[in-house]
């Protein structure tokens, strides 16, 4: 497989480019104060993961308000509407992974960069600013009305790119989540790159758990993908 045949990289954003786990942990620990000291990061992220897996979960990050109430109840943390709403709004300040901005600039020299995210467009706009506006195309849950791993999300994105002359075989899908992206993208026949952000950590953190699907490319950082592209393409 060669990078030479590619024209576009479609990116999951939350968890691949933006460190949502760090953002959630920072907010919960800030508002919960001393009450959160007995909770490990894994405790908080597990409570978040369980909240997001509920059948009544809504679109992200609006759903973080509901999640905070469940996290607080599970872990015995202080709870009120301000703290809960604040977790949703905190997305504006969720950090990028340390390598995201530079690696995206390097990759953009060779490909169109496409955001494909289950987040609302208002949140994607803030995250794009955090990433120094790297995207040529943005596709959000507001556009598709379905969340990954629903194949309709991928079909909608292919349709958008087809209007720009980018065909299915021209695309590499880049993501962190085995559940939301890697498994379904491989089943749909995409060329797929797994950025295993939690490679040095146990468990799945804030990402819903899933069986592991082998991708075509596997790196532990976005910088490694950029390195591999530059090695082949210059």
DSSP string, 109-175: TTSEEEEE-SB-HHHHHHHHHHTTS--SEEE-HHHHSS-TTSHHHHHHHHHHHHTTT--GGGEEEEE
Active site includes 143?
no
The SS3 of residue 6 is coil
d(CA 96, CA 105): 14
**Catalytic member of 12, 19, 63, 181:** 12
d(CA 71, CA 24): 11
Q: Give 82-86's long-range contacts (Cβ < 8 A, gap of 24+).
A: 83/31, 83/32, 86/27, 86/31
Burial of 113 (0-12, 13-18, 19+ CB in 10 A): buried
d(CA 18, CA 157): 20
CA 193 to chain centre: 13
Which helix or strand (DSSP H or E) is residue 210 part of?
none
DSSP state of 218: E
**Rounded to whole angstroms, what are the CA distances from 54 to 49, 171, 183?**
9, 32, 20
Which active-site residues does the annotation give?
A: 12
């Amino acid at each position: 497989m060669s990078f030479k045949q590619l024209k576009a990289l479609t990116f999951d954003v939350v968890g691949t480019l933006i460190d949502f786990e760090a953002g959630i942990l920072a907010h919960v620990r800030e508002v919960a104060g001393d009450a959160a000291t007995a909770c490990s990061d894994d405790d908080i992220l597990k409570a978040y993961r369980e909240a997001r897996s509920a059948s009544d979960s809504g679109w992200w990050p609006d759903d973080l308000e509901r999640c905070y109430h469940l996290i607080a109840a599970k872990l015995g943390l202080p709870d009120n509407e301000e703290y809960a709403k604040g977790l949703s709004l905190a997305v504006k300040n969720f950090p990028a992974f340390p390598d995201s901005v530079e690696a995206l600039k390097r990759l953009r020299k060779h490909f169109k960069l496409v955001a494909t995210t289950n987040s609302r467009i208002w949140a994607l706009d803030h995250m794009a600013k955090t990433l120094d506006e790297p995207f040529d195309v943005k596709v959000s849950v507001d556009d598709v009305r379905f969340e990954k791993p629903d194949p309709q999300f991928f079909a909608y994105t292919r349709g958008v790119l087809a209007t720009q002359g980018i065909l299915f075989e021209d695309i590499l899908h880049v993501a962190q989540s085995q559940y939301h992206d890697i498994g379904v993208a491989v089943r749909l026949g995409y060329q797929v790159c797994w950025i295993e952000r939690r490679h040095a950590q146990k468990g799945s953190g804030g990402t819903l758990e899933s069986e592991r699907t082998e991708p075509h490319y596997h790196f532990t950082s976005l910088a490694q993908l950029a390195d591999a592209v530059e090695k082949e393409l210059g």
